[in-house]
Amino acid sequence: MKCIKMIFALAVVAGTVVCGQNLLEAQQLQADGKLSQRDQLRIKAQQICPVSGQKLGNHGQPIKVNVGKESVYLCCKG
């Protein structure tokens, strides 16, 4: 039972670290104001923010967030 709790705790910590890195990367991209041509094409293909349901770009430059091996774009930090 202790082993399962330890594995769960490690998974939570690892997930937190990965999410923090993704947020930092997203903030750096937004601070630079630069999106690659590939990112721009993906934004056009995605069109809708999965969080708010609104069109990407309505609230400024979309924010790139990695979920697993996939990149998704959000309209705002919230």
Domain ranges of the chain: 2-74
Question: To the nearest whole percent, how much of the chain has pLDDT over 70?
Answer: 56
- What gap in Å lies between CA 33 and CA 54, rounded to an integer? 21
- pLDDT of residue 18 exceeding 80, the answer is no
What's the whole-number average pLDDT of the chain?
73
Which candidate, 35, 76, 16, 47, places its Cα nearest to that of 8? Answer: 16
